[in-house]
Structure 1
Amino acid sequence: MTATIRADAATLAASYPTRHFRISHDLASHPLLQLPRLIELTKELEKDRFEYNSGKLQPNQKAEDTPLVDLTPEQVVSQIETAGAWMVLKRVESVPAYRAMMEEALLSIAKQLGYESLDGASFRDIEGYIFVSSANSVTPFHCDNEDNFFVQIRGPKFFHLFDNDDRSLVSEEMLESAPSKHRNLPYDPSFEARAKVYDLKPGEGVFVPYQVPHWVRTGDDYSISMAITWRSDAVVRRNKLIFMNAWLREKGYPQAAPGVNATLDGLKVAAYTAARSALEPLRRNETMRRLLRSAVFGKKANYYYEAQKAAEQKKAA
């Protein structure tokens, strides 16, 4: 079974990597992305690799008001037609078969860009996220800290994408990222005049550039989608900066945007790199990842455990 992503050559040359554009792919029938295999995948991933809640949200959903569902990850996927839920299975590249599929897909687009390897195309730090959503579900307005070839596998999906070069929609401070900051961002219906809406069907997709604001909704049937993401060296460096800015701001120290003070940026990157190198061996364990997030950022850093906790409490009762 092949895994190929395709883009119009002229569009690819004109728009990549700063502007969103439509793509096509042959992943819709891939056995790794069918519902029975995804049910099995919920048994293979660690607990912090799931995030799920009710799909009955709004683009401007406040994180603290997000309704949950009292199901286990396996139940969410197996009952997705009736669950009224939204779920993401995170970091699926940790399963070798999924990583191989993703690398094959990215290599196909790398060759269209004129490169013979993933590294040559700066497709590094590759991660995979699979979304399983009930009909008429919404993923609220947010930005992601990686580039992304988003592929639609099953059902309809509507991807509302924006450009934000002037930061009029999302400020530099809002773009700062840390485990204690929920990804949902403030949204106003007036933003929609600036949206490009991609109506995605199986076999179709969209390139989502780094930190471009967007929100997503499903149609009248349940949906399976996948985000095949990566980070170039430049993106990795910027992510270190916005992480440090978020952390320092939480401590009460206002921060300049990346690029304003090159010397200070360099010190922040060095500090992040040193700290992450020391902690990385511990982060290979799910329990330690959870403890480290709580120690550095407090209980808010583990907000995605709340749905699982609610399900476990109901089962115990």
Structure 2
Amino acid sequence: MKNNSYMGRLELAPQALDRSFNREPIGFDHNLSTLDLFGLDSLRTLAEKYQGHDSDYMVASSASAPDQKFRSVKSANLNPSQAIDRLKTESVRILLKRPQDYDSRFQELLDGLTEQVVSLSGGLKTDRIMRLESSIFLTSAKTLTPFHFDPSAVFFFQIAGEKIYHLYPPSALTEPEMEQFYFRGMVDIAQVELNRRDPKLEHVFKLSAGKGLHQPQNAPHWVETNGDISISYSFFFETLAARKISRTRGFNHYLRKIGAQPSPPGAHPRLDAFKADAMDVWIPCRKTLSAVKSAALGK
């Protein structure tokens, strides 16, 4: 039964989160499937507000296989409202970004869940969140999201339907694989090859309403939807400490290009700090130079 409270709740032991945060996937229970703002009619009303905001949503078809290139999956020429009406008749994946910008109830939900996660983690209490966002996913039955990893710590909530989440820890990636993603200071998904992962590292979560998981930053994964329409919600963030590690990896990418064998983050903390500080200067300069070049070329 739905209710009118926007107070989301997740159930996760503090010790479990401290052991696993940004290291290993971990499951939890939650109450988001009881909240009325995730009803299909409510989400249809929300989707209508995205009209004309093309950068805030994605509508795509299913991938043909888990190892299909992420960017090669066919986009659907539909807006979110149209796509919702075709969830039962076509293979559609809908991503609504930053719903809190379109409905204040989602801001209240996001703030409450983030506060709970921070309160459960000793490390997060002394860190600073630099970037915080949320998303809603609506998918047809029997759809695939191909293998990739994200640059954020993710908390994923299954609201309705079933999803099977194939998730690997960040240790399944090599340092060069992560470095090539971070050297430009990008905030986006990253594609890696599924067949290079150790099958023994795979975690398989069978998610139904009321079940969720923590997906560590840089944890590669692919997702399949079973049964009926699936509704999911996630919020994700990057902390100051995590950003410094990302910057360190970006610096290591340049060292590797000149033939060096850089030490991984954590091996030499003082050197890591130097690398991160250097990238804090270089990334804005690089982006400025790129913008100037584009302007000069009339692009």
Classify the TM-score, shorter chain: 0.7 to 0.9
Matched residue SS, 2:48 = coil
For residues 151 and 116 of structure 2, the distance between their equivalents in structure 1, rounded to whole angstroms, comes to: 23
Matched, 1:18 2:23: yes
Query: 1:1-317 alignment to 2 at 5 Å?
Result: 1=5, 2-45=7-50, 46-63=53-70, 65-95=72-102, 96-113=104-121, 122-165=128-171, 167-168=173-174, 171-176=177-182, 183-188=190-195, 191-239=198-246, 259=265, 262=272, 263-273=274-284, 295=294
Cα distance change on mapping 1:153 and 1:253 into 2, 3 Å? farther
For residues 125 and 69 of structure 2, the distance between their equivalents in structure 1, rounded to whole angstroms, comes to: 39
Contact 1:241 1:269 in 2 (8 A): no
Bigger CA drift: 66-75 or 215-224? 66-75
Deviation at 1:175, TM superposition (A): 3.7
Worse-matched range after superposition: 206-215 or 90-99: 90-99
Structure 1 pair 63–18 and aligned structure 2 pair: CA distance change class (3 A): closer
Question: SS at 1:227's partner residue?
Answer: strand
Q: 1:119 to 1:125 in 2, by over 3 A?
A: farther
Measure, in 1, the Cα distance between the counterparts of 2:191 and 2:172: 20
Post-superposition offset of 1:133: 0.8
CA deviations over 1:142-180 (Å, ceiling 9, x no partner): 111111110001100111111242635982345437669
Number of matched pairs: 279
The structural deviation recorded for 1:181 is 7.7
- CA positional deviation for 1:182: 6.1
The alpha carbon displacement at 1:5 in A equals: 1.2
Whether the 8 Å CA contact 1:23–1:204 is kept in 2: the answer is yes
List gaps (5 residues or longer) in structure 1: 279-291, 299-317
**Contact (CA 8 Å) 2:157, 2:212: kept in 1 or not?**
yes
Determine the C-alpha separation between the residues in 1 that align with 2:61 and 2:77.
9
Q: Is the 8 A contact 1:124 1:231 kept in 2?
A: yes
The amino acid of 1:266's aligned partner reads: D
Q: What is the TM-score with the length of structure 2 in the denominator?
A: 0.77
The CA distance in 2 between the partners of 1:264 and 1:295, in whole Å, is 28
Distance of 2:178 and 2:197 partners within structure 1: 20
Aligned AA (2:277): G
Where 1:270 maps in the other structure, the secondary structure is helix
Task: Specify the SS of the correspondent of 2:194.
Answer: coil
The CA distance in 2 between the partners of 1:28 and 1:11, in whole Å, is 23
Distance across 1 between alignment mates of 2:201 and 2:122: 32
CA drift of 1:7 comes to 0.8
Identity of aligned residues (%): 21
Q: How far does the alpha carbon of each residue in 1:78-124 deviate from its partner, in whole angstroms, 9 at most, with x for none?
A: 32122211121112232332111111122223333369xx8656445
CA distance in 1, matches of 2:228, 2:70: 25
Q: In 2, distance between residues paired with 1:138 and 1:79?
A: 17
**Residues 236 and 176 (structure 1 numbering): CA distance in 2 closer, same or farther, change over 3 Å?**
closer
Let me know the Cα RMSD of the aligned residues.
3.7
SS in 1 for 2:278: helix
Code of the aligned partner of 1:171: E
